[in-house]
Structures are given as C-alpha cells and as structure tokens.
Structure 1
Amino acid sequence: MKIFSIPRIIKFSILMIFVLTIIILFSSRAAFKGIDIQPQLPEFTSAANTLQSERSESILNLPVKIPLANIQEALNLNISQTFLGTEADVTELLSNDKLTYEINRKDFSIGTQNNLITFSVPISGTAKIKGKIDLRFTKIPVSVKTNIAGTIFGDLFLGIDNEWNIQPNLNVSTNFTKAEVPIKNIGTISIRSLLQKQVDKVINKEKPKLIAELVKNLNLKAEVNKQWNNLHLSEQVNQDPSIWIKTEPQSVSFKEFDLTDGENVQSGIAIKMFVDTCICEEVSAINLKPLPNLTIQEQIIDKFLISLPVQVSLDELNNTLESKVRRKSLSIDENLKLIVNEINLSALGEKILVKVDFKTDKNNLFEGAKGVLYLWGKIFYETASNNLKVVELDYDVDTKNTLTSTADFLLKPVVLKQIEERLSFPLDKQLKLAQDEANEYIQKINLPSEIDANIEVKTIEVEKVVVTNNDIFLVLLADGNMSALLNLGE
C-alpha cells in the first residue's frame, strides 16, 4: 500500500501560521495590558435657569362653617328686648276699651330640625285692660292689670342663589300660655289671641329689618370675593433652585347649607384653579379674574391636590451607588471582569451623565487595563417598584471612539446592561424627604387669613421625573387635607 506524505512546503506553511497566531495573541495581550482609557469629559453648556411651566388644574376645597352661636347672637341683637303697645277697641266684651301691654323677652336659644334653624325665647310681662262692661241696664267700669307669659318661636331657612345672594326665609310666631284678665264678679277675659296678633304684627313689621341684618352679617359674597382675589397667588417657595407656584382661580362651586351637626351651618366652597409650578427665576404676571357666578353641588370634601416639584439629591444617589458598586465586579465574559472603583451621576441639561471609573480584574486577558467611561442615559420612574432608574445607556461619542480604537471589548452590550442594572434607586427615603419639603412649600403659600386654613400633605405620588437645569426633580401629586373656618356673621 502506498502512503502519501504531506509536502514539506505545506508543513512549513502550517507551522508559520501557528507561530504567527501565537505572536499575534501575545502581542494583543501585551497591547491591552496596562491600557489607560481616558476619553475627554463631555462638554455641556448649561441652559439658562428657565423652564416653561406646565399648567395643571387643581381643586381647592374649603369647608365653610357658620356657627349657630353667631346667628343666635344676631337674633338677640336685632329683635327688640321689649314690646310695648296700646290698642283700642280690642274686644267686643268691653266698650271704649283700651289694652296696654309691656312684654319682655329673654335670650334666644337656637336649635336645628329638618335642615331649619329653629329658635325660641321665653316672654313675660304685664297687660292692662280698661273699659266698660255693658250689662244692658248699666255699664260697669273695668280697669285691671294682669301678668302674662308665653314664648316667641320660629324657624330660619338659609338659601343662596347663583349670584351669591343669601336668601333667608324667616318665620316667627307667638304663643301665650298665660294671658287672662280677671273681672270681679264676672269671670275672666282671655286676651291670648289678641296679644299674639299684636306681637306677631310688631315682629312681622320688624322682620325685613332683621333679615337685612342677617344678610348683612352673612355677606358670603363679600367674604368669598375678598378671598377669591387673594387666591391669585404668586409665591417663590424655594430659592435654590428658584421654584415658583402661581395660582389663578377659575370657577367656584358651593354646597347647600347643611345643619346636621347641630352646632354649625355647614357648607363648602370648591375653587377650581390653574396651578403653574415653575423652576425659574420669575413667573409671568397674574391674570386677575373677577368672581364668577357659582354653581351648587351636593358635596364638598376637605381635600386638595396640587403638583409640586421636589429636587432629588444627587449626593444621596451617588452615596447609594458608593455602597452598592464600589469594588464590585462586572462580568463581561468568563475571561474578563471589571472592578468598579466608582460610578458617579451628574445631571446635565435634560440627561444623566454616568461616569464609570474602573480597572480590570487580575488574572484575565486584559490585566491592568483601567480608565474612565462616560455614558449618557435618561431618568425613569418605575411605578411598580417605586424605583428611580437610569435607562437607555449609551457611550458618549468620545468614549465610543476611544474604545473602538483601543478596547473594543468594552463595547459589548453586556457592559451597558450590567451598568444599567446597578443604576436603580429605591425612592422610599427620597419620598419621605419630598413629603416634608412639599409641606414646607405649601406653608409658604400665603392663603387669605380669613380662611384660617390648616393644610398638611398626607400622601404623595410621583407624577413624573424630569431633568432640567442640571438637577433632577420629582414632580409630585400631593394629596392632603384642608380644615377651614370661614368666619361669617360675626
């Protein structure tokens, strides 16, 4: 059998290829060993510290209470303490008769029933009747004075029209429990109905004046108009960065008066406002809108919603990164690991610059390589995890060019993926700080003093996160309570 042998020239070629491969391999390793990657720091010219504000709509709900004690005081001030009168020919039982009376009242007491303000007041006094009793054959002179007692009572309903006019409907009547005149040798003459008629006549004559006084003291339109004007607010709530909150009321709703708590006339005002939150040095002028007609609605609650920007501390994020990634490794493949010396975040313009200071692990192909990587990313809030993340990472142009020519192994997608996985930050601590900061902002809003409002943010939600003017901001939807006493009728 004939054995074919490999020609010497082929053997020599194979050997040369093998040797060349070894040389290239070791040359490559030598080339990468000790490489120092130092791309140029990305340049960024910061924009002016202005930001077009986004207009949002918020409802400011103000419960209103008018203490019944105020209405009780108005009744006591404006209904006469004493009723005096003289009437002639008041009864058919006497001729040439004349009734003189003096009735004094005590203080009114107030209550509620069926959404009406009810009131009553004891009355007492004296009545004198003078005349002649005609006994056909003779006329007997009569002049008798007697004590009388009873109660003035009634109810008051408060309504309001769409032009803010309070419309009280007042009903008053009198009931005498003691009003009899004794006539010697004859009996008694009842003057109850007579006195009731006369007192009711006097009260009804005074009722328009009383209603006018009540409306004057319960001048809701004047009070609300003053507060409406004062709710055109422009407040700088933070200096660095400069944050402004501007409010412009647009419409107002009113809840019908409710007396169910027995101590107050309760209602509520819901003011719909445009709220501009601006990270800027100054805001545009306020457009003063006159108080519009109101609409009536069934329910007003003591809650409000307002959007507020709260700055995220980059120092806190970088401190978190320090504990998470310092001296930790990133695995590119089984033969290559990067040791992270530091990852640092900066906000530039509307993006996040990520600086990664690294070196390669010992005992790998690229031992001793070190340097800095610059990457751009976007900020993102993940609702499900309540985490703030930097996403869509990519190398800065200069970093990418440097890596292409010196260390293209770092351009593998797995590098970006592993860096991105580490750029995730729980917001629990930040949100607690943000809630405190939001409360500070709100306390700086000078609400009308008459409202006597106590506002506190109870819960917050992240609407969005933005990077602007080299800072990161959480735009928060703040949900809180507002307790208020609108002091009317004093």
Structure 2
Amino acid sequence: MLKYIVNLAFLCSLLLSCSTSQKINTLRPEPDDASPLIYENSPSFINLPINIKLKDIENKTNLLLNGLIYDDNNIQDDDIEIKIWKLAPITIKNANATSKEKIETVLPLKAIVKYRIGTKTMGVELYDTREFNLSGIVTLISEVSLTNWQLKTKTELKSLEWSDAPTMSLIGKNVPITYLINPAIKLFKSKIEKKIDDAISKSMDFKPNVLEALEVICNPFRMNDNYESWLRIIPIEIYSTTAKLKKDSFELQMGMKCNMETLIGARPESKIDINKITLKPVIKVQNQIKANVVAVSSYYDASRIITKNFRGQEFGSGGKKITVQNVSIWHKDGKMVIALEVLGSVNGVLYLSGLPKYDDEKKEIYFDELEYVLDTKNKLMRTANWLAQAIILSKIKQNCRYSIQTNLNDGKRTIMSFLDNYSPLPGIFVNGKIEEFKFKKIELTNNAIIALVTVNGEINISINGLK
C-alpha cells in the first residue's frame, strides 16, 4: 500500500512538472564599452535657384522710398532751397542694355523750389525770394552686381523732364527759368542717386528669405510612419553664381553643400546654424547630385521595431511553444546580441548573436550566422533542447529582420511629394527627382546601427520673389 502511494505521488509530481513552464536562467552577455564609431558623411549638393522679379523689387522700393525723399532747407549757402516728394509710384524695368546688367528706374516727383535773387551791399541785404511748384519725371540707370547676399546698384541720373517749363514773373512778364533750375539738379543729383541705391539695396537683400527657407527645409521631416524615419539636412556652405538680368527677372544660381541623414526613432532636432552659413562665389552650380544619406538607428529603436515583428508569433515543437514578449539588441565583439524575453513552455531570456547583413533582394537588414550564445545554448540543452533545433532557430531568425532600406524606399514616395512643387513658404518651391537608393555598407557603433546609402537625383529649391 505504501509502495502504491509513493508511486502515485511520483507520477503526480511528474505530470505536474510536465504541465508547468520551465524557468531558464541564463547569463546576460554584457555590451561592449567601446567608443562610438566615427563615420564619414560625404557632403551632398542641393540646387537653390533664385528668381526675383523686377516687379517685386519695384514694390519693395516703393514701400521703402516714399513721401519726402529730399530736403534742402538751407537757402543761405547757394540761394536755393529744394524739397522733393515722390509724386507717384516708382517703376523699375530692364534697361535693355547690351553690355552690362542695367535697370531703369522712373521716378515721378514734385518739387518746391525757393530761389532768391538779390545782392548784399554795404551790409544791406536786397533779396527777392520766389517759390515755384514743379513736377517732372526723373529717369535713372543702375548697373547691378551681387555683393554678400545683396544685389547692389550703381545709379546715375539719366534725365529730368519737367511736366511744365518752370517760369517766374519778372517785370510783368513770365520768364522761363529752366536755366536756373537745371543747375540746381547738380546739387541733389548725387543724393537722389544714393536714395535709389539704398532703397534697391534694401529691397534686394534676399538673405532673410534664403535663411528662412533653409530653416524650414532643414527642419527634419518624417519620411515613414511605420519605421519612424526622419530626413535631416545639415547645411555647410552656400554657393552663388553672378546674378543675371533676364527680361523681367533677376536669376541667381545658388547651391547648398550639406550633409543628409536619415534617423529612426523620435523626431531629431534641427542642426542648422544660420549664423555660420557663408555665401561663396562660384562660376557654376552643378545640377546632378549624389547625396550620401546616413541612416542611423539606435539599438533601442531597432529593438522596439523588431519586437513588433514577433508580436502574435509562436515558436515551438509539438505541444511545446513559446511567445516572444520583448526584444533587446546591443553590440558585442563585432556582433549583435539579440535578447528574447519569452513566455510559454519556457520562461526567461534567450540570448542569440549574429552579424548584421543586408538583403538586397528583400531590402532588409538581417542577422547572419544567428546562433545561441554559449551559456544560453548549454542551458537549453539541459532544460529545453527542443528550442535549440535548427528549424525553430530558423523560424526565430525570420523575425530577426530590421528594415532600413525598405523605409527609405517607402520614404522615396514621401520625398517625392516634397519634390513636386512643394511650397514650405510663400514664394519658395521645392522640385526634383530621385532616381535610386543604392545601399553601400553597414557600420556598428556601441549604441546604433549605421547604414550608408547613396541617393542619386536632383533637388532644386527655387525662391521666387521677395516678401
């Protein structure tokens, strides 16, 4: 009877042990404490063609140059006092010069001229002061050149046409005094020219427009929601050709030397420093670009995305199964350690190691030579060797894949939406084309996977007009 009870108790304990999950206690392979790899990011070039219409310059010049534009209220020095107002809007057009870039500015004006006639004899002043209201049109010609973000002008007064010939009443007769007024033009000629130069210079300061556009363009934008990938542009230098006046617009070819990165995870911060951007003159700006994109994925973000691949998946043999609850990866000895937290017939953490490789056909990063680390493998052999079977390891391996190239390809469509007349700001338009994404290689750091990808195509960011 006693023997029967002992056998029954042993059988019950055996059945109970078979129906209870096994606990596997494995040693964690600690990550390397190596310094991060410093990777080389080759610069890329983006075109920034700028088109500024003369009408925009005209509008800004009219805003800046308004009302009283010249005031000489000292009659003592030259017997003339002159005040000049802008009578109507200024017009600016192409001067149709054949040799140099020139614009023609037409300024309708109103002038009040006080002219005194007389002498000073033996301390006695005998003067007669007359006031004349005049109106006319000043025509100015300006040569144009580009200097440090601004289109500078060198203006000369070409002509001054009075609407009515100036006259004054003298001894009962209206006597023309154009011969008196026109010499006075010499007194304010240079000042009017300077007024026009200063106004156009302020109108043509396109640096704020360019920098505002760059701040928007260089603000990281999401390329793919599933992989939380972001494209970040980091400008280095701005190049510019000489401005050319064509018909009714100034055309200026600019180019941006920059680094382009693709980061995965939380939204990265912008790295543009507008105070360090300089404008360098060049003869020509290239059209075709070969952008070197660095795809950076932290192990934390890669682990989180791979965990999604295991969600709802069961692995096992016969009635013995496990499900992966969480995945963590890190770098050790040139390989990736993949930690799988499992529940089911076995509870605990399984550690695998492998080499990250790129599958060009599937456009994925996978882990080659995937195997259990030594301590994990020994524990499995003693407690759950069914997990060490090649067929189960192969199924697990299928889920240990992490797409960087795929999200770039998906992001290509998103990028193209930004290259189809996309306007981040009024007057700024982004156009271009992407021909291909070509994978180069994978590098590992102590905290991230870095994929180097070459992107061929064209990007043009045109700035049309001034605000």
- Do 1:380 and 1:389's aligned partners in 2 also have CA atoms closer than 8 Å? yes
Structure 2 residue aligned with 1:205:
190
- Do 1:82 and 1:104's aligned partners in 2 also have CA atoms closer than 8 Å? no
Q: Distance in 1 between matches of 2:32 and 2:255?
A: 39
Q: Which structure has the greater CA radius of gyration?
A: 1
1:345 aligns with 2:327: yes
Q: Distance in 1 between matches of 2:153 and 2:159?
A: 20
- Decide whether aligned partners of structure 1 residues 188 and 422 sit closer, same or farther in structure 2, where only a CA change above 3 A counts: same
Which residue of 261, 269, 281 maps to 1:295? 281
Structure 2 residue aligned with 1:168:
153
Q: Distance in 1 between matches of 2:92 and 2:375?
A: 81
- Decide whether aligned partners of structure 1 residues 318 and 258 sit closer, same or farther in structure 2, where only a CA change above 3 A counts: same
- Do 2:111 and 2:133's aligned partners in 1 also have CA atoms closer than 8 Å? yes
**Once the two structures are superposed, what CA deviation does each residue of 1:398-431 show, in whole Å capped at 9, x if it has no partner?**
3455678999898776554444334345679977
1:70 aligns with 2:60: yes
Structure 1 residue aligned with 2:137:
151
Q: Which secondary structure state, in structure 2, belongs to the residue aligned with residue 153 of structure 1? A: strand
- Do 1:249 and 1:274's aligned partners in 2 also have CA atoms closer than 8 Å? yes
Displacement after TM superposition at 1:392 (Å)? 2.8
Structure 2 residue aligned with 1:106:
87
Displacement after TM superposition at 1:100 (Å)? 10
Q: Distance in 2 between matches of 1:85 and 1:382?
A: 87
Q: Which secondary structure state, in structure 2, belongs to the residue aligned with residue 420 of structure 1? A: helix
User: What's the % identity of the aligned pairs?
Assistant: 16
- Decide whether aligned partners of structure 1 residues 58 and 108 sit closer, same or farther in structure 2, where only a CA change above 3 A counts: same
- Decide whether aligned partners of structure 1 residues 299 and 126 sit closer, same or farther in structure 2, where only a CA change above 3 A counts: same
Q: Distance in 1 between matches of 2:113 and 2:348?
A: 110
**Once the two structures are superposed, what CA deviation does each residue of 1:420-449 show, in whole Å capped at 9, x if it has no partner?**
3343456799779999xx9xxxxxxxxxxx
Structure 2 residue aligned with 1:27:
none
Paired residue type of 1:120 = V
Which residue of 23, 36, 58 maps to 1:51? 36
Displacement after TM superposition at 1:485 (Å)? 10
Number of residues of Structure 1 aligned to a counterpart in Structure 2:
371
Q: Which secondary structure state, in structure 2, belongs to the residue aligned with residue 51 of structure 1? A: coil
- Do 1:464 and 1:475's aligned partners in 2 also have CA atoms closer than 8 Å? yes
Displacement after TM superposition at 1:212 (Å)? 6.8
**Once the two structures are superposed, what CA deviation does each residue of 1:447-485 show, in whole Å capped at 9, x if it has no partner?**
xxxxxx999xx9997887666546667789999998989
- Decide whether aligned partners of structure 1 residues 78 and 386 sit closer, same or farther in structure 2, where only a CA change above 3 A counts: farther
- Do 1:105 and 1:124's aligned partners in 2 also have CA atoms closer than 8 Å? yes
- Do 2:137 and 2:163's aligned partners in 1 also have CA atoms closer than 8 Å? no
Q: Distance in 2 between matches of 1:273 and 1:428?
A: 22
- Decide whether aligned partners of structure 1 residues 471 and 306 sit closer, same or farther in structure 2, where only a CA change above 3 A counts: closer
Structure 2 residue aligned with 1:254:
240
**Once the two structures are superposed, what CA deviation does each residue of 1:121-147 show, in whole Å capped at 9, x if it has no partner?**
22356899999xxxxxxxxxxxx9997
Taking structure 1 as the reference length, the TM-score comes to 0.49
Q: Distance in 2 between matches of 1:471 and 1:292?
A: 32
Which residue of 306, 310, 314 maps to 1:326? 314
Taking structure 2 as the reference length, the TM-score comes to 0.51
Q: Distance in 1 between matches of 2:407 and 2:105?
A: 56
- Do 2:139 and 2:159's aligned partners in 1 also have CA atoms closer than 8 Å? yes
- Decide whether aligned partners of structure 1 residues 411 and 84 sit closer, same or farther in structure 2, where only a CA change above 3 A counts: same
Which residue of 338, 345, 352 maps to 1:375? 352
Q: Distance in 1 between matches of 2:115 and 2:25?
A: 114
**Once the two structures are superposed, what CA deviation does each residue of 1:345-404 show, in whole Å capped at 9, x if it has no partner?**
321225132549699xxxxxxxx9999864312334545534443333123223455678
Q: Distance in 2 between matches of 1:486 and 1:147?
A: 38
Q: Distance in 2 between matches of 1:385 and 1:151?
A: 72
- Do 1:251 and 1:273's aligned partners in 2 also have CA atoms closer than 8 Å? yes
- Do 2:80 and 2:113's aligned partners in 1 also have CA atoms closer than 8 Å? yes
Structure 1 residue aligned with 2:12:
none
1:122 aligns with 2:108: yes
Q: Distance in 2 between matches of 1:200 and 1:78?
A: 16
- Do 1:63 and 1:484's aligned partners in 2 also have CA atoms closer than 8 Å? yes
Q: Which secondary structure state, in structure 2, belongs to the residue aligned with residue 349 of structure 1? A: strand
Q: Distance in 2 between matches of 1:74 and 1:300?
A: 36
- Do 1:173 and 1:200's aligned partners in 2 also have CA atoms closer than 8 Å? no
1:392 aligns with 2:378: no
- Decide whether aligned partners of structure 1 residues 103 and 399 sit closer, same or farther in structure 2, where only a CA change above 3 A counts: closer
Q: Distance in 2 between matches of 1:201 and 1:105?
A: 18
Which residue of 296, 309, 313 maps to 2:296? 309
- Decide whether aligned partners of structure 1 residues 53 and 206 sit closer, same or farther in structure 2, where only a CA change above 3 A counts: same
Let me know the Cα RMSD of the aligned residues.
6.8
Q: Distance in 2 between matches of 1:413 and 1:272?
A: 50
Paired residue type of 1:349 = H
Q: Distance in 1 between matches of 2:34 and 2:353?
A: 21
Paired residue type of 2:354 = G
**Once the two structures are superposed, what CA deviation does each residue of 1:58-110 show, in whole Å capped at 9, x if it has no partner?**
55777778852333344447942689999x9xxxxxxxxx9999875414423
Higher deviation after alignment, 114-123 or 397-406 = 397-406
- Do 2:50 and 2:462's aligned partners in 1 also have CA atoms closer than 8 Å? no
Q: Which secondary structure state, in structure 2, belongs to the residue aligned with residue 294 of structure 1? A: strand
Q: Distance in 2 between matches of 1:50 and 1:147?
A: 81
Q: How does 1:182-193 map to 2 (within 5 A)?
A: none
Displacement after TM superposition at 1:51 (Å)? 2.3
Displacement after TM superposition at 1:159 (Å)? 0.8
Higher deviation after alignment, 47-56 or 470-479 = 470-479
Q: Distance in 2 between matches of 1:314 and 1:209?
A: 65
- Do 2:48 and 2:460's aligned partners in 1 also have CA atoms closer than 8 Å? no
Paired residue type of 2:61 = I
Q: Which consecutive unaligned segments of at least 5 residues does structure 2 have?
A: 1-17, 118-129, 219-230, 265-272, 416-427
Q: Distance in 2 between matches of 1:160 and 1:212?
A: 13
Displacement after TM superposition at 1:327 (Å)? 5.3
- Do 1:358 and 1:370's aligned partners in 2 also have CA atoms closer than 8 Å? yes
- Decide whether aligned partners of structure 1 residues 183 and 41 sit closer, same or farther in structure 2, where only a CA change above 3 A counts: closer
- Decide whether aligned partners of structure 1 residues 76 and 55 sit closer, same or farther in structure 2, where only a CA change above 3 A counts: farther
Paired residue type of 2:296 = P
Q: Distance in 2 between matches of 1:215 and 1:177?
A: 24
Paired residue type of 1:378 = L
Q: Distance in 2 between matches of 1:101 and 1:125?
A: 7
Structure 2 residue aligned with 1:445:
none
Q: Which consecutive unaligned segments of at least 5 residues does structure 1 have?
A: 1-33, 89-97, 132-143, 234-244, 280-286, 330-336, 360-367, 439-452
